[in-house]
Structure 1
Amino acid sequence: MTSRPPVAAVRRPAAVLAATAALAALTTPPVLADDAPGTQLASTDCQFGGQVIEGTPWSLQRVITKQLWEGKALKGAGQTVAVIDTGVDKSNPQLAGKVLDGKSFAKSKATADGVGHGTKVAGIIAATDGFPGTGFHGMAPEAKILPLQTSTAEEGGNLETMVDAIKAAVKAKVGIINISQGTTADKSQLPTLQAAVDEAERAKILIVASAGNNGASGKPTNTYPAALDNSNVLSVGASDRNNERAAFSTPNEHVDIAAPGVDMVSTVPVSGQCVDQGTSFSAPYAAGVAALLKQKHPDWTPAQVIWHLEKTAARTHPFHDNNIGWGVIDPMTAVKDDTTPTGPVTDADLKSAATANNGDTEKIIAAKLTLGETPAERNARYGTYLVIGGGLLLGVISAGAMARRDWLRKRGADVL
């Protein structure tokens, strides 16, 4: 039996590493979560049943939800998003009543999540708004989540489980599938994945997929299914506070748009929240906005949703690039612009819009620079102050001691 090449892996929780190693010998390549090395900004580690993080995450500060949700009329009601991942723990209070039974392809239970990854993904899509003690919420808080578990802490995912999960989502007739996983195996070795995505395309199901986290070198790499050419696949890279490509986000020609993926707050199993980063969390941000669009425009095809998100994205140049695609997703503009998309965005369209003097929605939108500091940056600043202050204090003490010593010596000489 000829084995397929291994999948290039990004960070996984420690409990999964042994399973990942074992999967390397299988005939189907492991398909691993697209999360980058976590950055915990709260006062404790990312623990299940952890703290509730106060304040509003930066990724939501730029969104006026009352306008985005049109009061309370547009919050994703009637939309079901399949989350192909490590399961979704339905016990987190911010996910109460939102998580359907789902199905596990990893010998476990879809509504349990021993890894935490799938629960974070689900929270970014549909976590309850107005939850006591936090400003965090999902982009479409009235959407339902269908968990399709492809891996656990004991058993890593692989191509077969991903394919089975996509087929299950098609059978369940969901409107959107979020896949924050991927494989870097050669496309020619993924006929079953291609067939499953083709099936979803025929069923008019939008697939929102992470572009991958192999971007540290800046070298383009394809991660599948995000890099497939199907009209229903939205490939999402990660952007930072300055609307630029996050350092870990994988650049390639297939990236359609970018979405916030740095220092992302979301739900964890049992209760509470923590902070993580990666294109894993950019994809559900986009999937949540897509759910709002699907509620508002139920007749739009997956391709039309993608074209609309691309057209209304925030960008600083009139062309597609490998880093953030057609720009960074702009939830407000996407929802408020009711223009029915008729075709894909092109460089020619953007160049024409860039030189136009009329039609605000046709102008290039400058990316907004966020001048606020992160909690980590603030802690670093406080630490710097402490070091400097301590150094100054020691200097004052030392100078005082030297002056006293000189005074005592002079006084002693006078006495003798």
Structure 2
Amino acid sequence: MAKTKAALTLAALLTTVCASVAPAQAAPSGSGECTYPAKPIKGTPWALQRVLLDRLWEHTRGRTADGRPVRVAVIDTGVDVVNPQLTDAVDPKSGADLLSGPSDQLKGPTVDPVGHGTKVAGIVAARPRPGTGFVGLAPESVVIPIRQNDERGTGTSHTLALAIRKAVQDGADVINVSQDTAQPLLPDSDLERAVKEALARDVVVIASAGNDGLDGNVKKTYPAAYEGVLAVAASDRNNERAPFSQPGDFIGVAAPGVEMVSTVPGGGQCVDNGTSFSAPYVAGVAALLRAKHPDWKQHQIVAQIEQTAERTSEDRDRYVGWGVVDPVRALAEDSRPVDAVHPQRPPAREARTPTVPGLAAGESRQEREERIATYAVGGAGVLVAVIAGVGVVARDRRERVRARGPVS
């Protein structure tokens, strides 16, 4: 069913509810507006093209050896189950709506008027479907939908803490939080206690880093910066940090977060940007690891993802952490559990002879025109990346989650 124009405007405003206990994402590429339902995107997204899915799913697609699906809690704006790629991916008997009251027309964790949570859930667990190359990284895992934010940024650090506790209560193996708060919280806050409780119950907690990276300031965001949480930054097609991705010493890994394809309410897919979509990419890998190694502890799952990431330096980096997540390597180099990540040298890159584009000798007119066209396209791509980064920050700042009242 098509949305009204007003509803579409609200949905467009909230594409970034993950940076303050609000989703962390950027404006969609193209028109900047994602309408739903949407048409299926037929091709395979670039973030999946870089993964050999047959190798990734050699042992599991999100179920343990005894057939139990791994449970991934998506704490967000709700998860739509009308989209056929998510209908069987969501457990409708679990989760909660922490925002709706008796007088609200829209209520329930499987209602997502914003679309943010539906995109996050799709990256983790969307089922394969004819007509599209998009699929979740763990397409046999199950999503626990928990709605605790909306287009107005109604969610608070308190409702986020409640959501984490609800996820644990409902048997989550992995919790994805594509939201954050940039407001400082007092030590031993309710949110911090909820995170510690989840970790103590052996739950993997993954959170997006936020989208305020364009200002160049290094700062902590929560819950990503809490000890034990795997904080995820956004990377681009070249494994570089996306310009909008929040840097900091708390970053664990980076994952694709630019031009990310995922499910939207009602059906189909759209394209969006932000660390909100990097986090569930990693959550999908965590779900596969939990399925393959149900005896591994939560800190070992995190260490495995960090240890097998594609590195650009020997040590941890404030922009991409230990590197860009490598899903296949994480599932392949797993002969024994890793208790803690350790420095290692990145693989040597093949030396290339530098060329000077302006001195191409003996080229034909056609070759020269093709070369100039290539440069023009490349320059346009850089401009689009910068514009997308600015859009991400603007959206996040509009939709910050408030940490209401004193936080204990």
TM-score, L = length of structure 1? 0.75
Q: Does 1:110 align with 2:100?
A: no
1:401 maps to what in 2?
A: none
Structure 1's 212 and 18: CA in aligned 2 closer, same or farther, altered over 3 A?
closer
2:66 maps to what in 1?
A: none
Specify which of 194, 211, 214 is matched with residue 213 of structure 1. Answer: 211
Give the secondary structure class of the aligned counterpart of 1:282: helix
In 2, are the aligned partners of 1:30 and 1:157 still within 8 Å (CA)?
no
Structure 1's 308 and 381: CA in aligned 2 closer, same or farther, altered over 3 A?
same
Q: Does 1:36 align with 2:19?
A: no
Which amino acid in structure 1 is aligned with residue 163 of structure 2? A
Q: Deviations over 1:4-49 (max 9, x none)?
A: xxxxxxxxx8527999xxxxxxxxx9721111222248xx941111
Specify which of 237, 241, 258 is matched with residue 237 of structure 2. Answer: 241
1:198 maps to what in 2?
A: 196
Q: Does 1:364 align with 2:347?
A: yes
Structure 1's 251 and 277: CA in aligned 2 closer, same or farther, altered over 3 A?
same
In 2, are the aligned partners of 1:83 and 1:145 still within 8 Å (CA)?
yes
User: Based on CA coordinates, which of the two structures has the bigger radius of gyration?
Assistant: 1
1:98 maps to what in 2?
A: 89
Give the secondary structure class of the aligned counterpart of 2:289: helix
Instruction: Provide the rounded CA distance (Å) in 1 between the counterparts of 2:326 and 2:30.
Output: 26
Give the secondary structure class of the aligned counterpart of 2:85: helix
Give the secondary structure class of the aligned counterpart of 2:285: helix
1:302 maps to what in 2?
A: 298
Give the secondary structure class of the aligned counterpart of 1:288: helix
2:61 maps to what in 1?
A: 75
Structure 1's 68 and 165: CA in aligned 2 closer, same or farther, altered over 3 A?
same
Instruction: Provide the rounded CA distance (Å) in 1 between the counterparts of 2:378 and 2:330.
Output: 39
Give the secondary structure class of the aligned counterpart of 1:163: helix
Q: Does 1:132 align with 2:125?
A: no
Instruction: Provide the rounded CA distance (Å) in 1 between the counterparts of 2:176 and 2:202.
Output: 14
Instruction: Provide the rounded CA distance (Å) in 2 between the counterparts of 1:213 and 1:366.
Output: 30
Structure 1's 95 and 17: CA in aligned 2 closer, same or farther, altered over 3 A?
closer
Q: Deviations over 1:195-245 (max 9, x none)?
A: 10111011110111001111002221211000011x2x1100000011010
Q: How does 1:18-37 map to 2 (within 5 A)?
A: 31-37=21-27
Instruction: Provide the rounded CA distance (Å) in 1 between the counterparts of 2:210 and 2:20.
Output: 14
2:36 maps to what in 1?
A: 48
Greater displacement, 31-40 / 173-182: 31-40
In 2, are the aligned partners of 1:126 and 1:141 still within 8 Å (CA)?
yes
2:119 maps to what in 1?
A: 120
Instruction: Provide the rounded CA distance (Å) in 2 between the counterparts of 1:237 and 1:212.
Output: 8
Greater displacement, 306-315 / 333-342: 333-342
Instruction: Provide the rounded CA distance (Å) in 1 between the counterparts of 2:33 and 2:90.
Output: 25
Q: Deviations over 1:152-186 (max 9, x none)?
A: 34662111211110010111121000000000111
> Aligned-residue CA RMSD in angstroms?
2.6
Instruction: Provide the rounded CA distance (Å) in 2 between the counterparts of 1:337 and 1:104.
Output: 39
Instruction: Provide the rounded CA distance (Å) in 2 between the counterparts of 1:156 and 1:18.
Output: 14
Q: How does 1:138-153 map to 2 (within 5 A)?
A: 138-153=136-151
Specify which of 65, 81, 100 is matched with residue 53 of structure 2. Answer: 65
Instruction: Provide the rounded CA distance (Å) in 1 between the counterparts of 2:200 and 2:244.
Output: 33
Instruction: Provide the rounded CA distance (Å) in 2 between the counterparts of 1:331 and 1:30.
Output: 28
Instruction: Provide the rounded CA distance (Å) in 2 between the counterparts of 1:16 and 1:190.
Output: 34
Which amino acid in structure 2 is aligned with residue 34 of structure 1? A
Instruction: Provide the rounded CA distance (Å) in 2 between the counterparts of 1:345 and 1:30.
Output: 28
Instruction: Provide the rounded CA distance (Å) in 1 between the counterparts of 2:208 and 2:188.
Output: 17
Count of matched residue pairs: 333
Instruction: Provide the rounded CA distance (Å) in 2 between the counterparts of 1:237 and 1:382.
Output: 24
Structure 1 spans left out of the alignment, 5+ residues: 1-12, 20-28, 355-362, 368-376, 385-416
Q: Deviations over 1:335-380 (max 9, x none)?
A: 0112323432233xx1xxx3xxxxxxxx63769xxxxxxxxx99x8
Displacement of 1:190:
6.4
In 1, are the aligned partners of 2:97 and 2:109 still within 8 Å (CA)?
yes
Instruction: Provide the rounded CA distance (Å) in 2 between the counterparts of 1:325 and 1:241.
Output: 17
In 2, are the aligned partners of 1:315 and 1:326 still within 8 Å (CA)?
yes
Structure 1's 18 and 214: CA in aligned 2 closer, same or farther, altered over 3 A?
closer
Q: Does 1:319 align with 2:315?
A: yes
1:403 maps to what in 2?
A: none
TM-score, L = length of structure 2? 0.77
2:258 maps to what in 1?
A: 262
Q: Does 1:85 align with 2:85?
A: no
Q: How does 1:281-360 map to 2 (within 5 A)?
A: 281-347=277-343, 350=344, 354=345
Q: Deviations over 1:358-413 (max 9, x none)?
A: xxxxx63769xxxxxxxxx99x84999xxxxxxxxxxxxxxxxxxxxxxxxxxxxx
Runs of 4+ in 1 over 3 A off after TM superposition: 16-19, 363-367, 380-384
1:172 maps to what in 2?
A: 170
Q: Deviations over 1:298-337 (max 9, x none)?
A: 0111110111111100012211110000000000100011
Give the secondary structure class of the aligned counterpart of 2:213: coil
